[in-house]
Structure 1
Amino acid sequence: MKHVRVEATGTGNYLDPRAYLGLLPALSAELPPGARAFAADPDHYDFSGLRCVKDLVLDALQRGIADGEDWLQLGFRHNCWKHEEDLSIRYIGLSTRNPDPADWTGFGPVTLDEILPHRHGCSHEIGFLGGSLTVVSRDLTATWTEADCPDK
């Protein structure tokens, strides 16, 4: 990631989105509407927030074509200790994805992510404990839905 810091330490990971958050007001003017709304959500980088992406786990992937555009949808499962909702991100006008989706299994929980303006719309890099992925698309739509958390 360019501005969000995710660094391994001897006892875990050091996570610091402050540089990115400082730039976000200026960057958001260049982001497509869906990407802007997701990145600017006040809970997105609040580690105690219910809609913080940290600790979500990628568990579903769908691809297709609609209205002549490639799309990709990623489903993230909640962590019952922290979240009350699951997250689904649909990328519209898919330009690239790296690495290939077949390699995304076993990445583990999300550490943090970063959404930046791109000539094709936006780039979304998601860091996981076991790797990272980047999706470039015209825009994205993030949707939170109630999760089944029996412990709460």
Structure 2
Amino acid sequence: MKYVTAVWDDGGFSVDPGAYLAELPRLRADLPPGARSFATDPGHYDIAGATRCVKDLELAGVHFATDKSGGLVLDFAPNKFKHDSGLRITYSGVTHFSVDYEHSIDWMMVDAVLLDEILPDEDGGCTHEIALTDASILVRCRDLEAVWGGTS
């Protein structure tokens, strides 16, 4: 990620969205509407308290469109100690999707979100990078829609 810090550091995870949040006022105008709404939601990076913070959500499903429409859906289940509900992110116009597994943390049963970062893309779309406890996801798309609820 370019601005967000989300790394394994000395036996624990180090996460910090500060640099991204400092850049977000400059970046927001170049983000597509759905991505802008999700990235600028006041609870998105409220690690300490918000039930709408992405930190600690658990990756629950990846669904590809089979008709070459460029659709992709990622489902995240709530962390029972933090979230009231899960999150579904629906991507449109996907031109790239990758998951890179590190397989370095074998004691965790699921991949949980550390933090994410949404940046404008040169073609008017965006990239969404999600750091997980044992992997990272990268999506390049036209836009995305994030909806809280369900996937519990």
Q: Same fold (TM over 0.5)?
A: yes
**Residue in 2 aligned with 1:136?**
140
Residue 8 of structure 1 deviates from its aligned partner by 1.7
Alignment of 1:2-151 (within 5 A): 2-47=2-47, 48-64=49-65, 69-99=69-99, 108-120=111-123, 121-146=125-150
Q: Is the 8 A contact 2:75 2:151 kept in 1?
A: no
Alignment partners' CA distance in 2, 1:107 and 1:4: 22
Structure 2 CA distance for partners of 1:65 and 1:93, relative to 1, 3 Å: farther
C-alpha RMSD of the superposition:
2.1
SS of match in other structure, 1:38: helix
Moved over 4 A (4+): none
Q: Is the 8 A contact 1:72 1:90 kept in 2?
A: yes
Q: Which moved more, 1:128-137 or 1:5-14?
A: 5-14
Q: Which runs of 5+ in 1 are unaligned?
A: 101-105
Identity across matched positions, percent: 44
- Structure with the higher fraction of residues in strand conformation: 1
Alignment partners' CA distance in 1, 2:96 and 2:33: 19
Q: Which runs of 5+ in 2 are unaligned?
A: 101-108
Alignment partners' CA distance in 2, 1:143 and 1:5: 24
Q: Is the 8 A contact 1:78 1:86 kept in 2?
A: yes
Q: Is the 8 A contact 1:107 1:128 kept in 2?
A: no
Q: TM-score normalised to the size of structure 1? A: 0.87
Alignment partners' CA distance in 1, 2:139 and 2:151: 25
